[in-house]
A and B are shown apart, each in its own frame.
Chain A
Amino acid sequence: MALAGLFLITFLVVHLAINLLLLSNDDGAAFKVAVEFMTTNPLVKIMEIFLMGGFAIHIVIGVFIQIQNWLARPVRYKVAGYSHLSFFSKYMIHTGAIIFIFLCIHFTNFYFVKLGLVSPPAGVEKEDFYQMANSLFADRFYAVLYVVLMIFLGFHLHHAFQSAFQTLGLNHTKYTPFIKAAGTIYSVVVPLGFASIPLFFIFTK
């Protein structure tokens, strides 16, 4: 769970770095080069398999653990949950589910199109992710949805980052405060980075 999560956390940084190229004012030239690299490089192809595995493991174990946890308390409390606890940690399965739904949409829009399982919208080449992103974000509703989703992603990551270290037993009087701070920064900066792209589209196009 934690290992797969940390793997996905690093993946998000790579994904974001490429997406941010969409913001450069070159008609997507830089972005296209990056996409070209990511879709053809054999090493990336191998990583892609690991990535799918990472998602699968994270989701399957996550759901399994959650079910076990629900079963661990068959009779609920009448007055529940006044204890102080980290707020977002209570809703990991919920924010996770929201992210999963988005992931499905995201896959139909990009990955499945590339594989040819889903036909691209009119006027968009099947490998042209730049056009695809453009056409998607042109739809205001989708752009806003994307931004909202990123907020939930931030909630998920806020707990996830430091929690993964705790689960792996990587806890230290000197470094744990640093890990917690890094997690908070990460959970704000990365979703904000992703959200900046649709926001850019909303306000400039």
Chain B
Amino acid sequence: MDFTLKIWRQKNAKAKGKFATYKINGISDSSSFLEMLDVVNEQQVIKGEDPIVFDHDCREGICGACSLYINGRPHGPDDAVTTCQLHMRKFKDGDTIVIEPWRSKAFPVIRDLMVDRQAFDKIIQAGGFISVNTGGIPDANAILIPKENADSSMDAAACIGCGACVAACKNASAMLFVAAKVSHLALLPQGKAEATRRVQAMVAKMDELGFGNCTNTGACEAECPKEISIDNIARMNREYLGAKIGAQKDKVSGGGF
């Protein structure tokens, strides 16, 4: 298959970027989108030009590193896949494909198609964890968890932190990501202990980092490679309002853990 690619090129975070056009021929229809870019990069190297920089790691849809905004959609034209899982047969022979980095104030471009997603790490550091001391392995059935909750929690935990939700949202809001991270812990007894503190801390961090506000447009849910539902956003809103209204004032701890 032959393609014309219009790719965002930007030397570094400060430089002004622009689109460059590349022609690529003889791509197999069963090659992945990233493999196609590998071929382009080989061409670049042979020509003695700078290869195109893009994020990738596992190439099997589980790490969340790949992040390309392809023809107006994060992770391209297929549903529920990451860019690395996208096949070239989803395009027509001779197509022009426009490839852009995620666009968000909170995700500055590092180079070409690679953006800095540390903002997500900062949100997790703010509260996306449970504090447990190490010890013996607890008995699996010691804590009863309703099956529905375990399932919903697992669904939310499928979020790989790719940032497609931010990229898709017209407001560049990170609500789906944060909601997934809040939800998967809030649904389980182990996460309940710190639930009120967690949701407030994570939402505050998200706002501080310059993500937009959620207006419930639903683009995130449509583009999420892991099909995280916006029901999680409602759950987070519920948790957040409940915490804001109901949580006790912080107490000075008496020490210990």
Contacts and interface: CB of A to CB of B under 8 A. Distances in A.
B212 A69 contact: yes
B218 interface: yes
B217 A85 contact: yes
Interface of A: 65, 68-69, 71-86, 89-90, 92, 159, 162-163, 165-171
Most buried by B among A73, A80, A89: A73
Given A80-B72, A89-B216, 12 more contacts: A65-B215, A69-B173, A71-B105, A72-B106, A72-B210, A73-B103, A73-B172, A76-B103, A82-B72, A83-B72, A171-B234, A171-B235
Contacts of A170: 234, 238
Interface string B190-218: 00000000000000000000111111111
Nearest to A62: B215
Contacts of A68: 212-213
A84 B222 CA distance: 6
B219 A83 contact: yes
Given A69-B170, A83-B168, A89-B218, A77 B212 contact: no
Most buried by B among A65, A76, A83, A169: A83
B170 A81 contact: yes
B152 to A, nearest CB: 10
A153 to B, nearest CB: 18
B205 to A, nearest CB: 15
B21 to A, nearest CB: 12
Most buried by A among B171, B214, B230, B241: B171
Interface string B166-183: 001011110000000000
Given A68-B213, A166-B216, A169-B238, A78 B100 contact: yes
A169 B240 CA distance: 9
Contacts, number: 107
A69 B219 contact: no
11 contacts: A69-B215, A85-B217, A85-B219, A163-B215, A165-B234, A168-B237, A168-B241, A169-B235, A169-B239, A169-B241, A171-B235
A157 to B, nearest CB: 14
A75 B71 CA distance: 16
A80 to B, nearest CB: 6
B184 interface: no
A166 B234 contact: yes
B218 A169 contact: no
Contact of A92 (B73, B215, B222, B239): B215
A162 to B, nearest CB: 8
Given A72-B210, A85-B218, A166-B237, A77 B105 contact: no
Contacts of A162: 216
Contact of B71 (A73, A76, A82, A167): A82
A159 B216 contact: yes
Contacts of A168: 237-238, 241
Nearest to B8: A78
A86 B217 CA distance: 6
A3 to B, nearest CB: 10
Most buried by B among A69, A86, A92, A165: A69
B110 to A, nearest CB: 14
A84 B217 CA distance: 9
The 8 closest A-B pairs by CB, nearest first: A169-B238, A171-B234, A72-B212, A82-B72, A169-B237, A69-B171, A79-B72, A72-B172
B19 interface: yes
